[in-house]
Amino acid sequence: MEMTSELLEELMVWPRMQHCGMVLKEEMFQLWDEVRGIDFSEEKSVENDLE
């Protein structure tokens, strides 16, 4: 029953958190791009090597 009450609390908070979450996501993606230099080609080659 604990999981159910936690889910209900999250659903009640969601409408308020949605906007903040969207703003945080944008900021996080900007920081992530700055840190990584936005180079996805390396990741793809690594994934191909793993296969």
- What pLDDT score was predicted for residue 47? 63
Q: Tell how far CA 28 is from the center of its chain.
A: 8
pLDDT at 48: 62
In this prediction, residue 2 carries a pLDDT of 66
Residue 43: predicted pLDDT: 60
Which residue has tokens 């080609």?
A: 41
Six token digits for residue 36: 């990584």
User: What is the model's pLDDT at position 41?
Assistant: 61
- pLDDT digits 0-9 by tens, 1-51: 566 888 878 777 777 767 777 778 888 888 888 877 756 566 655 566 666
DSSP secondary structure letter of residue 19? H
Which 8-state DSSP code applies to residue 51? -
Dihedral of the alpha carbons of 22, 24, 30, 36, in degrees to the nearest 10: -120
pTM (predicted TM-score): 0.32
Query: Whole-angstrom Cα distance, residue 50 to residue 34?
Result: 26
